[in-house]
């Protein structure tokens, strides 16, 4: 059984930008906008070496994502909490890389390969949504 309702899945798959929240081992939060792709089970997010979010993830694998927007009726969105894994090589890395390249022109225009940039894999555990219908 999916964590998400059909309407939430449609909303998630219909968007490409979210805010990724990570925290250091000292619980200092860090939030950044990122592009994502969702395969129905996991969110995949490309990042670069040297970024604060990567340092945080190596210290603390707990993350939160917020996908949201504004409509005439007001704000709507979904907040997802889960755990993240850093992928750097291997079959799943290549799978996630293909998903990202297929979805985003910016990545196709500036391609990279294994070991050149990590990909975050987020396993959703909890969620809360508002005004998704």
Question: Domain 6-130 carries which CATH code?
Answer: 2.30.110.10
Place of tokens 């890395």: 93
What's the rounded Cα separation, in Å, for the pair 22 and 53?
Answer: 6
Global confidence as pTM: 0.95
Full pLDDT tens readout for the chain, 133 residues: 689 999 999 999 999 999 999 999 999 999 999 999 999 999 999 999 999 999 999 999 999 999 999 988 789 999 999 999 999 999 999 999 999 999 999 999 999 999 999 999 999 999 999 999 7
Q: What are the extents of the domains in the chain?
A: 6-130
Specify whether the CB–CB gap between 118 and 88 falls below 8 A. yes
For 79-130, the three-class secondary structure string (H helix, E strand, C coil) is EEEEEEEEECCCHHHHHHHHHHHHHCHHHHHCCCCCCCCCEEEEEEEEEEEE
What region does 102 belong to: left with phi over 0, alpha with psi -120 to 50, or beta?
Answer: alpha
What's the rounded Cα separation, in Å, for the pair 63 and 40?
Answer: 18
pLDDT digits (tens, 9 = 90+) for 65-80: 999 999 887 899 999 9
pLDDT digits (tens, 9 = 90+) for 11-23: 999 999 999 999 9
């Amino acid at each position: 059984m999916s964590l998400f309702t059909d309407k939430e899945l449609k909303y998630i798959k219909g968007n490409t930008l979210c805010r990724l929240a990570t925290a250091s081992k000292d619980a200092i939060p860090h939030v950044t906008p990122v592009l994502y792709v969702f395969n129905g089970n996991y969110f995949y997010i490309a990042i670069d070496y040297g970024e604060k979010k990567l340092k945080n993830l190596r210290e603390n694998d707990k993350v939160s994502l917020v996908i949201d927007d504004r409509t005439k009726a007001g704000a709507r969105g979904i907040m997802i909490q889960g755990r993240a894994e850093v992928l750097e090589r291997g079959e799943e890395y290549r799978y996630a890389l293909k998903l990202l390249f297929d979805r985003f022109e910016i990545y196709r225009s500036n391609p990279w390969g294994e070991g050149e940039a990590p990909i975050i894999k987020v396993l959703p555990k909890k969620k809360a949504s508002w005004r998704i219908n």
